[in-house]
Amino acid sequence: MSLFRIHAPILDDIRSDGLMPTLIAKTDEVVTRLTAGLNVEEIRSVLRGDPPKRPNPRVKPHADGFWMHMRPTYFHEKVMTLYPTFRLGWLSVYFLVFETITGLVLMLWYTPSPLTAFEDMQNIMSNVPLGLMMRDLHRLGAEFMVMVVLLHMLRTFITGSYKKPRQFTWFTGGVLLLLTLFLSFSGYLLPWDQLSLWAVTIGASMAEATPVIGREVNLLVRGGPDFGANGLLRFYLLHVFALPLIAFIFLGVHYYKVIIHGHSLPPKEEEIGVDTARKVPMEKRSYFLPDVLTKEIYWVVIWTALLILMVTVGNWHAPLEPHADSQVTPLHTTAPWYFLWLQGMLKLGDKVFWGVVAPGILVNFVFVLPYLEVGPSRRYIHRRVGLSVCAISIIVFSWLTYMGTPYHAVSSSPDQEVVAALVPQTHPGPVRTASYDELVPGEYSSDKWNSAPTDNLREIMETFDHEINKYGNELPGAVGIMNIVDWQVGLKKVTLSVVWNNGEDTFTQNVYVHEDSKHGH
Amino acid sequence: MTWRTVVGTLATFVTTIVVAFWLINEPARMKEAEDGFAGRSMEAGAAIYENNCTRCHGPAGGGLVGLAPAINNPALFDGSRLAEVGWAGSLHDFVYSTISGGRPLASSGTTWPQRMPTWSTEYGGPLRHDQVRDVTAFVLNWGRAYEEGITALQNPETATTSMEPIDAVGIDINTPELPPGNPDDGEALTVSLGCTACHIQTEVGPAWLAENHPDGTGIGTRSGERIDAADYTGAATTAEQYLRESIVRTNDYVVEGYEPGIMVATYGETLTAQNLSDIISYLITLK
Ligand code: HEM
């Protein structure tokens, strides 16, 4: 008698039914277990697009499976079309997941310390296969996500989907909006270049305006009077840990509420004040398997392809400016675009009111909106006031955003502005991106731009001339001089001067250009 | 559903091909990006050099007499300098660590009156480590000229350090007669020759500007008073002549409180009559 016996029932099955039939049966069993209820035959019929049997076996995974239980068994066919959702909520989830995946890849190569962060970025871009692509995808995805979430909010407002019973869905959405903005904002600092340091500094300086505890809030956010090792570590931990965690939790709550109440139907489909989203007649049902799933797979493919094509053939690249320097504030720094409206408001006056009180009221207003605006009808015709206020807000926000840009109310002097147009401090600009060979050593004058020897030089000098003429009276008799000398092998020194008032006033700035530097690539 | 299948499959196909091509090209792209960042590092380094190092090592690394050695010098790149100081590591490390930590002690055989300061914040200096890295990249790029056998660039600002023989003014304080001077050119010369490093930025030599001098007088005023002073040992009879003497025969009269031999004694051999006149005409304005 052996010490122990292995009992493998499969051997008995093979003995009684033969090898192939047993393997087929076992495979079927494994597949059914993995899909929580669908056997091979059923999956094939789903893929073929056959109508389901009765009772529908395709609802079983929704009841038994973990992943599928998060998704409804069927949707109303009226919410399956592009209108009313424009798939914006779905797309927000797509980007949240997309950012998580690309972000995890980047994390492998990044250390959150001012000593290494910037070099790590350069390393990712120049030494990690597909590293540049991952970084570009992550950055592009982040920009898209902010836009998509904003548009999603706009659409749920326009279709009146925040109204009873979906007030709390909207509320949790508001939390998700803040999380999205802060996720993007916290990520902005991580490359530790001039752009990121100063954009975030401007954003964070609003915290400083908080009445009474401004100083404490500021210290808490930055980990010191200025951004340094502590601030970077804090932003990093927020970005890769705290905010995503909270975002996924709130996504759970948000989507749970969406399912509980059903996707709201297009307003005209319902009686005023009645919500029939949950009562979907048999013939209007569009089942998750296969209709919704295949569509979602399709959209995943399309969006992923689009993003990849944009950062490859489309040549879209995330910027990387020079290393962060807390001593040198670049001319024209701005907050990230989705906070420009705040920067614009700050130009209106009092820092405390426009930087803290007004935005505070606004944000809180978003949260309580569904509890204040309780008109029963979701139809557009009955919501003229609400929709007009929405339209006006969009215009006001666009205007404030414009005001936040350096185009509005610039404070520096015209001579500096002129030079900054040629060698900007927040992006490469025409001199640095010019072809190295075309920067022929010599001295060129803006009034004689046409006689410069190369195309690039003519373009640069024409811009110089154009910029100077913009400030006619402020720079009387001004002329721009560009002087190029060979400085080292492969390195040229470019001196830009603006001379005005018959040569009494001058402003001069030097930049160096290396033949390999590939600015703007 | 079928058109979605077609479009979706097509999109997957196209994307796969694009990514495959991207991957094939990845090593070349990474090399280019690496060179690009190296180039940007030199660009940043050149600006850091201009702001911090020019006053001792000269605008083009040629060194300044009496202040600091040339660092664009073939000896640095052909290994002889490393052998001289017995450095076993790489040239990059030699330069990087010299800049980071400075030279608190003179290296063997040299007697520069000032020390090479410490630069890295790690050792209490003003530059972040990435800035030290950038300026190191810039300094090492002079090695390219050495490797490629290029002796001089067409750079007007390096003219002062070129090897061409000049028509020097000599050390006599009366002859030759000096041509009329231009104070603006003189001012520029005092910067590029490094005089300002001892006389304006620091107090290694007597302060030129009235606001820096204990008496509250500038060099232009003092030079006229000096010749009448009881302890004056020189031969000058006018303020201009005193300045000329101080520059080309610096040890004939040593200002009280200073050691002889600190100020470079060879300016008579490196300045032209025009240079000297320009400098004097500038100094005389510093009342
Ligand atoms: C990370 C951010 C967000 C994610 C991932 C997200 C996700 C979703 C999803 C998947 C849906 C269902 C599909 C759809 O209606 O398009 C949905 C519905 C909804 N969301 Fe969001 N959402 C986000 C932000 C927001 C924001 C900022 C708001 C508004 C303040 C909001 C309000 C709503 C409302 C009211 C619904 C119900 C729509 C209806 O039933 O028709 N969501 N959300």
**Domain containing A185 — which CATH number?**
1.20.810.10
For residue B161, pLDDT beyond 50: no
Nearest to A274 by CA among A171, A158, A164: A164
Q: Which pLDDT value is given to residue B98?
A: 95
Boundary (domain end) residue, out of A302, A326, A350: A326
| DSSP secondary structure of A179-238 | HHHHHHHHHHHTT-BHHHHHHHHHHHHHHHTSTTTHHHHHHHHHSSSS-SHHHHHHHHHI
Indicate whether B129 belongs to any domain. yes
A388 interfacial to chain B (CB closer than 8 Å): no
Based on the domain organization, do A96 and A52 belong to the same domain?
no
- What are the Cα distances from residue B64, in Å, to A270, B74, B119, B161? 87, 16, 19, 8
Boundary (domain end) residue, out of A311, A326, A341: A326
B155 interfacial to chain A (CB closer than 8 Å): yes
Residues 90-149 of A with CB under 8 A from B: 115, 118-119, 122, 125-127, 129-130, 132-133
Query: What is the span of the domain harbouring residue B247?
Result: 183-284
Indicate whether B48 belongs to any domain. no
Give every CB contact of residue B199 below 8 A, 6+ residues apart in sequence: B190, B205, B206, B207, B208, B219
Based on the domain organization, do A132 and A258 belong to the same domain?
yes
Number of Cβ within 10 Å of residue B218's Cβ equals 20
Q: Do B144 and A493 touch (CB under 8 A)?
A: no
For the Cβ of A162 lying below 6 angstroms from any atom of ligand 1, the answer is yes
Q: Do B153 and A489 touch (CB under 8 A)?
A: yes
Based on the domain organization, do B77 and B131 belong to the same domain?
yes
What would the two tokens of residue A337 be?
């675009």
What would the two tokens of residue A396 be?
């006001």
Indicate whether A210 belongs to any domain. yes
Indicate whether B132 belongs to any domain. yes
Helix (H, G, I), strand (E, B) or coil at A509: strand
Mean pLDDT of all residues in B93-122: 88
Q: Which of B19, B42, B142 sits opposite A514 (nearest CB)?
A: B42
Q: Helix H segments across B53-167?
A: 54-57, 74-77, 80-85, 91-101, 129-140, 142-147
For residue B96, pLDDT beyond 90: yes
Give every CB contact of residue A258 below 8 A, 6+ residues apart in sequence: A89, A166, A169
- A484: closest chain B residue by CA: B155
Atom of ligand 1 nearest to the CA of A87: 16
Indicate whether A347 belongs to any domain. no
Report ipTM for this prediction.
0.90
Q: Which pLDDT value is given to residue A482?
A: 96
List own/partner pairs for A350-358 with CB under 8 A and 24 or more apart: A351/A209, A352/A209, A352/A210, A352/A211, A355/A206, A355/A209, A356/A206, A356/A209, A356/A210, A356/A211
Q: Which residue lies with its CA nearest to atom 31 of ligand 1?
A: A173
Based on the domain organization, do A109 and A213 belong to the same domain?
yes
Q: Which pLDDT value is given to residue A61?
A: 92
Whole-number average pLDDT of chain B: 87
For the Cβ of A90 lying below 6 angstroms from any atom of ligand 1, the answer is yes
Boundary (domain end) residue, out of A277, A294, A326: A326
Most confident of the ranges A176-185, B180-189, B272-281 = A176-185
Q: Do B50 and A297 touch (CB under 8 A)?
A: no
Indicate whether B171 belongs to any domain. no
| CATH number, domain with residue B219 | 1.10.760.10
Q: Which residue lies with its CA nearest to atom 9 of ligand 1?
A: A89
Mean pLDDT of all residues in B205-221: 90
Secondary structure letter of residue B174 according to DSSP: S
Contact B59, B72 (CB under 8 A): no
Q: Which pLDDT value is given to residue B265?
A: 78
Query: What is the span of the domain harbouring residue A159?
Result: 76-326
CA–CA dist A453, A459 (Å, integer): 11
CA–CA dist A149, A348 (Å, integer): 28
The DSSP bridge partners found for residue A442 are: A484
Q: Maximum distance among all alpha carbons in chain B? A: 108
Number of separate domains in chain A: 3
Based on the domain organization, do B144 and B73 belong to the same domain?
yes
At residue A111, φ and ψ (nearest 5 deg) are -115, 125
Number of separate domains in chain B: 2
Based on the domain organization, do A154 and A267 belong to the same domain?
yes
Q: Which pLDDT value is given to residue B163?
A: 38
Based on the domain organization, do A131 and A252 belong to the same domain?
yes
What would the two tokens of residue B32 be?
């280019």
Please list the pLDDT of chain A residue by residue as tens digits (521 residues).
566 777 888 888 899 999 999 999 999 999 999 999 999 999 999 888 888 888 888 999 999 999 999 999 999 999 999 999 999 999 999 999 999 999 999 999 999 999 999 999 999 999 999 999 999 999 999 999 999 999 999 999 999 999 999 999 999 999 999 999 999 999 999 999 999 999 988 888 877 778 888 888 888 988 888 899 999 999 999 999 999 999 999 999 999 999 999 999 999 998 998 888 988 999 999 999 888 999 999 999 999 999 999 999 999 999 999 999 988 888 888 889 999 999 889 888 888 888 889 999 999 999 999 999 999 999 999 999 999 999 999 999 999 999 988 877 666 788 999 999 999 988 899 999 999 999 999 999 999 999 999 999 999 999 999 999 988 788 888 999 999 999 999 999 999 999 998 888 899 999 999 999 988 76
- C-alpha A426 chain-centroid distance: 20
- What are the Cα distances from residue A339, in Å, to A138, A267, A336, A354, A398? 19, 32, 6, 13, 11
